[in-house]
Amino acid sequence: MDEATLARFADLVVGFGANVQPEQIVAIGAEIGKEHLARALAASAYRAGAKFVDVQYFDLHVKRARVEFSREELLPFVPSWYGERILELGRQRCARIGLTGPSAPGLLDDLDPARVGKDPLPFLKESGQVVNERTTNWTAVPCPTPQWAQLVHPELDPVAAYAKLCEQIVHVCRLDEEDPIAAWTARADALVSTAARMTDIGYDALHFTGPGTDLTVGLLPTSTWMAARFETVDGITHMPNLPSEEIFTAPDPLRVDGVVRSTKPLVVGGSIIRGLEVEFRDGRAVRIDADEHADVLRGYAARDEGAARLGEVALVDGDGRIGALDTVFFDTLLDENAASHIAIGSAYQFTAGEADHPRLNQSQIHIDFMIGGPDVDVHATPRGGGDRVPVLVGGAWKI
């Protein structure tokens, strides 16, 4: 990505995605190898009037050393100041920007998956708290790296692979539009409108059917569909994911039944889980199998009482730019916005009415995996019973 494009990308992320305000503190979370975008974002934030930019880098090689050599009972430990930093960002009404994309693909593949699953970092449970409290304006964006490019495009030489990945990120982030902000505003308007229709209809349950998938996900009486555009408690509008192509809500964590097969690989804690299949019974994941690294997800799902239950269900239509590329990015931000998905772990409080807040799933984790695609259809059961009705068929909305 050339310097001009990098600066344009940073300005889109800072000015539209996170919507950084003058004199805000801006926290940027990145990994080693993503310095180029982190620095461009810092420069853009200062141009926008930021009071201070705090960049924090996570080193997956250090995580590897911990998983390899630490005593197993110590692996779940996270120093208190990690979480306190996140909470303080909320208390001081800061902006947050996170950079996604694998920085060292396969680095943990030769380690014991069960041990890998016990170390939660870089995920912090406090992140969910500040999101629920809506105290920070934030966004997550993909950061291209040569290592990631080789994983996505192994058929190309390293230079061509990196150029291809950069080109795709420019496209899915709508940077190839003359006015990316106008393009994103139009797309966000469409998503928010669809989410509002889903909320107004008020289905009782969703039914996913496709190759290897027959899954029923119950919804709460006040399940509220959200999309694209969030607002902080202080009225700052921001776009939590850039790109974002989904609408999502909180399911009933006690009413999930059936079998679901992931339609894309899942990257968790540095390990790539392929061929994932999960069976749910009475809301709980009772079987987690995969062609590779199933033990990693099993470890996360055993973290606490809510880790094996759903905290999110999301629908993605065929009008987005990511799915049309027919590319597996091995990055949850991109892959989850290419296909409908579910997440085990914590729910977002604002995706249900106050009356149902006690019923929302709670957990230290939140892990999305993709279950949708053109051959996975979604039907719904109306509240009060009746025949199932189509909602999303062949990637097209039917509501």
Model confidence pTM above 0.95: no
User: Would you state the pLDDT for residue 114?
Assistant: 80
For residue 159, give every residue at least 6 positions away whose Cβ sits within 8 Å of its Cβ, in sequence order, or none: none
Mean per-residue pLDDT, 167-187: 96
What are the structural domains of the chain? 3-143 (3.40.1830.10), 180-397 (no CATH)
Residue 209 pLDDT greater than 80, yes or no: yes
pLDDT level of residue 123 (50, 70, 90 thresholds) = confident
Helix H segments across 92-243? 113-118, 125-133, 146-152, 158-172, 180-201
Residues 187, 85: Cα–Cα separation, whole Å: 33
Element (H, E) at 8: helix 3-12
Q: In 9-72, at which residue ranges do the beta strands (DSSP E only) sit?
A: 25-31, 52-58
Give CB contacts under 8 A, 24+ apart, made by 234-238: 234/93, 236/19, 236/21, 236/137, 237/19, 237/137, 238/17, 238/18, 238/19, 238/137, 238/138, 238/139
Q: Encode pLDDT of 346-356 as tens digits.
A: 999 999 999 99
66-70, 89-93, 264-268: the lowest-pLDDT one: 264-268
pLDDT level of residue 369 (50, 70, 90 thresholds) = very high
Task: Judge whether 91 and 130 are in contact, CB under 8 Å.
Answer: no
Mean per-residue pLDDT, 307-327: 94
User: Would you state the pLDDT for residue 105?
Assistant: 86
171-185, 257-271, 359-373: the lowest-pLDDT one: 257-271
The 3-state DSSP class for residue 221 equals coil
User: Would you state the pLDDT for residue 113?
Assistant: 79
Task: Judge whether 239 and 229 are in contact, CB under 8 Å.
Answer: yes
Strand partners, 28: 55, 97
For residue 12, give every residue at least 6 positions away whose Cβ sits within 8 Å of its Cβ, in sequence order, or none: 173, 175, 180, 181, 242
Mean per-residue pLDDT, 226-252: 95
User: Would you state the pLDDT for residue 270?
Assistant: 66
